[in-house]
Amino acid sequence: MTTKATAEPKKARKSATEEVQKLRIRVRAYEHKILDTSVKQIIDTALRFDAKVVGPIPLPTEIKKYTVNRSTFVYKDAREQFEMRMHKRVIDILNPGAKVIEALTNLSLPSGVSIDVKMM
């Protein structure tokens, strides 16, 4: 009888976690100031419709470095280095309603900000 009693709460826990739906939004931009303002705009829109928001969670900055010769043919020792930084944030919206999703799709964000939205 003790094995049946311990098995029932595990089933109840699984059903409680399955009911939670997440809307995961990944926001990426080259400039961190534009990224932070767009993240604040997304969070304000979600909170306006009483959605529970987790984040923004900063992800590691992706740095791409390029090394280029200054001259075309000779002077191999003279080089320049350039880098591009991609800043990233993650926002989770728990149990989003239809109004929240509609408001987020109608949101206009500045250029240079890319968004990936997943339903989990």
pLDDT tens column, 9-32: 555 555 555 577 888 999 999 999
Give me the sign of the Cα torsion angle 29, 34, 38, 43: positive
**Domain assignment of residue 92, yes or no:** yes
Encode 42-71 in three state secondary structure.
HHHHHHHCCCEEEEEEEEEEEEEEEEEECC
Closest CA to 114 of 46, 32, 35, 22: 35
Indicate the average pLDDT of the chain.
84
Give me the amino acid identity at 117. V
pLDDT at 95: 85
Alpha carbons 82 and 68: distance in angstroms, whole number: 8
Please tell me the predicted confidence (pLDDT) of residue 73. Answer: 83
**Mean pLDDT in residue range 70-86:** 90
pLDDT tens column, 26-59: 999 999 999 999 999 999 988 888 888 888 999 9
In 3-state terms, what secondary structure has residue 117?
A: strand
Residue 86 has pLDDT above 70, yes or no: yes
| CATH number for the domain that contains residue 45 | 3.30.70.600
The reply to whether 41 falls in a domain is yes
In this structure, is residue 108 part of a structural domain? yes
Q: Provide the number of structural domains found in the chain.
A: 1
Q: Is residue 83 part of a domain?
A: no
| Cis omega (within 30 of 0) for bond into 96 | no
The residue range of the domain holding 107 is 21-61+88-119
